[in-house]
Amino acid sequence: MSYSNTTLLSLPLVLGFLWKFFIQQFLSRRRLPLPPGPKPLPLLGNVLDMPSDYPWLTYDKWRQQYGDIISLQAFGHTIVIIGSAEVAYDLFEKRSSIYSDRMLSPVLTYSLFRMGYDWDFAFMPYGDNWRRHRRVFHQFFNQGAIDKYHPVQMRESLAFVQRLLDTPQQLNHHIQQTFAATIMDIAYGIRVSGENDKYARAAADALASVSEAGVPGKFLVDLIPILKYVPAWVPGADFQKKAAYWRELKDRFINDPFKAVKDAINRGAPVRPSMLSSLLETFPEEVDKDEGEQIARNCAAIAYGGGADTTVSAVEIFFLAMLIYPDVQKKAQQELDSVVGAHRLPEFSDRNNLPYINALVKETMRWQSVTPLGVPHGTTTDDVYNGYFIPKGSIVFGNAWSILHDPIAYPQPEVFKPERFLKDGKLNPEVRDPSVAAFGFGRRICPGRHFSNNSLFILIALVLSTFDVTPPLDTKGERVRMAPAVTSGLLSHPEVFKCSITPRSKEAEALIREAQWEGV
């Protein structure tokens, strides 16, 4: 990790941590041992060991060396990394009352405070406020409620393939626009086009800032939390300026569409049915109007943030996989041709008859994790697991990357292979479903996971039934050899790549151009 001169200026501030450090070290000798891990240095602990980029890969190597549960020390703080589905289930599920709090990195905690992200229940401490938000959100995105969103998802997925036909070189923009439009309609009843694109841009900028702030160890203040009091003008304190800027982005993201819908309702203007309009009409019984409006605003923004960001990354991963594994693409197209045929486009009603497409969706979630480490949990009390002591206030990561690349559960985990989820032409329930880690853990699991799964299915089915996705040509006219490469951050995206996207046939092109979806 690279540090600025702030390190020297901040050494006196470190003294405030020494007492806590020595006390913890003294007490730990009288208790069971912490989980194993790299040997900590005096005072510093494992500060110099902690990776700032792609930490999940380093943690996975340590898992192979030390075991499925490891620990690090940083100025008296205990960081626990869980690297197996079994341990994750034991702690996040069986002991969810202990492991459901949020214990964020100092810079993320401070940045979220400065940014005003206390509204997002993904980052809220475990408690009544979190439960109220989660309960409201769940009523709109539970597995029994999401089928009503099929028409919007179908409409925007059809719009996606139509845009892809005209300007395939703008793939990433089209993916972002599709999911921004889908969730903006569902959450706010706002159709994203023209002037309303400002909402999508504001959300994209705000969510990118959270991803940057969420990498543990990226900023020196992660390791020396007292540096959050250092003025912004001190060299190395750039996180102060960034946090202030990120708050401006957040304000536009969370408030502008909320005000637009609320103002329209107050004027008596017609508004499209949406999650927000429904909540503004009927508040939860246990809250007053002001708190009800706040919960409505927050939950709509949470829906938008989740639906317009993580699913975007998953679709980008799908396209990357098709470039690297053309045989998978051919098998998926053969199934679509057999079940759907060449004279119509696939719909949600075809899903039960498309096991390979469903397996491909699962493999997309597994192969390159969208949130490789997720948002860290925190322990509310001391705990003992398998003879190891896990103190109260520990920061606990579930390493989704390790879990989803377990060579026992997923032989050849680096290979994109949908067949691993199939047996005798059907989905094999004995194979571990990627949802055990891809969407988080325990009570903190993503409540929009079923909606995201549906979005992935219909878009993948439509793309593969109508297009061939191939690598671009080099100067010699040969296909460029592609390799998986992703970004580091709280949310991981594939590195920017180029590809060739062409209609499979003249009939497929005609189906795309003529496609319409009425009723929404």
Q: Which of 123, 116, 35 is nearest to 71 (CA)?
A: 35
Residue 499 in marked binding region: no
The pairing of beta strand 388-390 with beta strand 467-470: unpaired
Cβ atoms within 10 Å, residue 176: 20
Question: Both tokens of residue 376?
Answer: 């860290």
Dihedral sign of CA atoms 349, 352, 356, 359 in order: positive
Query: DSSP string of 448-477?
Result: THHHHHHHHHHHHHHHHHHEEEEPPB-TTS
> What CA–CA distance (Å, rounded) separates 320 from 418?
15
> What CA–CA distance (Å, rounded) separates 64 from 67?
6
Biggest CA pair distance of the chain: 75
Contact 416, 366 (CB under 8 A): no
Q: What are phi and psi of 66, to 5 degrees?
A: -110, -20
**54: amino acid identity, one letter:** Y
Question: Both tokens of residue 344?
Answer: 């119509």
Strand (E) or helix (H) holding 155:
helix 150-166
Alpha helices in 405-448, H assignment, sequence order: 435-438
> What CA–CA distance (Å, rounded) separates 466 from 457?
14
**372: amino acid identity, one letter:** P
Q: Three-state DSSP class for 388? A: strand
Q: Which of 430, 306, 457, 438 is nearest to 366 (CA)?
A: 438
Strands (E), 363-461: 377-378, 383-385, 388-390, 395-398, 422-423, 426-427
Question: Both tokens of residue 328?
Answer: 């998978």
- Interior angle at CA 326, CA 325 and CA 332, nearest 5: 100
The per-residue b/e assignment along 138-158, b for 16 or more CB within 10 angstroms, e otherwise, is: eebbeeeebeebbebbbbbbb
Which residues contribute to the annotated binding site? 446
Which residues contribute to the annotated binding site for heme? 446
